[in-house]
Amino acid sequence: MNSSYLKKTDKAVYDLIKAEEKRQTNQLELIPSENFFSRSVREAVGSVFMHKYAEGNIGKRYYEGNKVVDELETLAITRARKLFKLPKDWDVNIQALAGSNANTAVYLAVLKPGDLMMGMFLPDGGHLSHGWSYDKAKTTSPTDRIYFGGDQKVNLSSKLYKVIQYKTNPKTGLFDYDEIEEIATKYKPKLIITGGTAYPRDIDYIRMKEIAKKCGALYMADIAHEAGLIGSGVLKSPVGIADIVTMTTHKTLRAGRGAIILANKYLIQKINRAILPGLQGGPFNNNIAGICVGLGEALRPDFKRYSRQVIKNAKALAQELKKYGFTIVSDGTDKHLVLINMTSKGVYGKYTAKALDTAGIVLNMNTMPGETRTPADPSAIRLGTPFVTTRGMKEPEMRKIAKLMNAVVEEIRPWAGENFETFMRMVKRSKVIRQVEKDVEKLVRYFPLGL
């Protein structure tokens, strides 16, 4: 990053930026919802577009001076239409500030307060914005096949709407479409949602649309995680099948921070009004500039090669971890993320993630299907390959990463019963973990970031 002026004017922030650059450079970033953006995307996000208010839509702004902003947003929409192969009667909203904002805008557009919506159970891989709530007084039984929520309405979606949630099959970790259909037919939600944060398998969008149609619901596919893989054509697309498609732009799409909503033109008009004045003020034009650049990059042939490699790497990493005795939820992956049930190792999500982070391997603790532990220390860890694939890593490096991960986990297994403070002291004193950290730094030197 060229920040010589910042170094002179605000050395404290400059030093923090440099520290984060060093961290990202020297560690293995395996969080599946993170990626590394090109210099072009970063330059666009840092451009003068950040100075301009642009409330409203193209040609209908509430402020003057938006001719160039209109041209930028038109170009971004054109590129989104091309990348996601939109039907002629579909359109794009590119103004939502983030994925949760995009989802909330859809709810405001198509639901009334108190309407029933149906999404995926959060611990099985769903998302907070799909209606999560819980009950402090009791624990959800893994044998219950429908989740009705609780009195702790932790997200706006559960505060405004009634929610039921479907679960994955407890034996396979996969969607049980017959069961989803049975639930939807019985309770007749107004909106059915697929997508989430930790479901490693492809989704049958056609079947989900049939289920929604049967019970008179709209169907929204949240493809926040898979957007780049779908846009490049290496995963199936819900566009033209689902009624509404939402996504973030910073994960596999690699296009800076923001969100995109796709739907038919009638629904997009309602969604536009839900964005403004319903939910937010002016869009972040500089973020739209970054998204526009990222969409342009995603239309190039090398992005399809990148997307294929993301999946190859995830499959290779899952397969190699299985050889070391790791239990892979759903026994594999179809996309960019891998969910690992750590119960067979006897050391759980929080301790594993913290120890790996100390060794320079960055991933996150996560709940899993059939979860019996708390979200603060769940049974699983979640990892993915978008960032390391952007660095240029391939299958041989996935084998090395699996070996390094196993070395750390085998080292910490005897300490699983210690309290957290004692555990972390042992981690920081461990020669094995220090050696893994050195091995990580040696590995990443061969795959420099484009800073």
Residues involved in catalysis: 53, 55, 222, 248, 251, 257
Distant-in-sequence, close-in-space partners of 11: CB < 8 Å, separation ≥ 6: none
Sign of CA dihedral 45, 49, 52, 58: negative
User: How many CA within 13 A on the CB side of residue 3?
Assistant: 18
**Residue entry with tokens 């290496």:** 234
Residue 194 bridge partners (DSSP): 221
Strands 116-120 and 162-166, how do they pair? Answer: parallel
Q: How far is CA 122 from CA 37, 63, 76, 127, 375, in A?
A: 29, 41, 32, 6, 10
SS3 letters across 213-271:
HHCCCEEEEECCCCHHHHHCCCCCCCCCCCCEEEEECCCCCCCCCCEEEEEEHHHHHHH
d(CA 388, CA 222): 24
Instruction: Return d(Cα 103, Cα 370) in angstroms, integer.
Output: 26
Burial of 2 (0-12, 13-18, 19+ CB in 10 A): exposed
Distance (Å, whole) CA 369 – CA 380: 10
Grouping H, G, I as helix, E, B as strand and the rest as coil, residue 338 is strand
**Burial class, 367, CB count within 10 angstroms (exposed 0-12 / middle 13-18 / buried 19+):** buried
Closest CA to 146 of 182, 194, 188: 182
Check: CB of residue 271 under 8 Å from CB of residue 93: yes
Report residue 431 as tokens. Answer: 């020669």
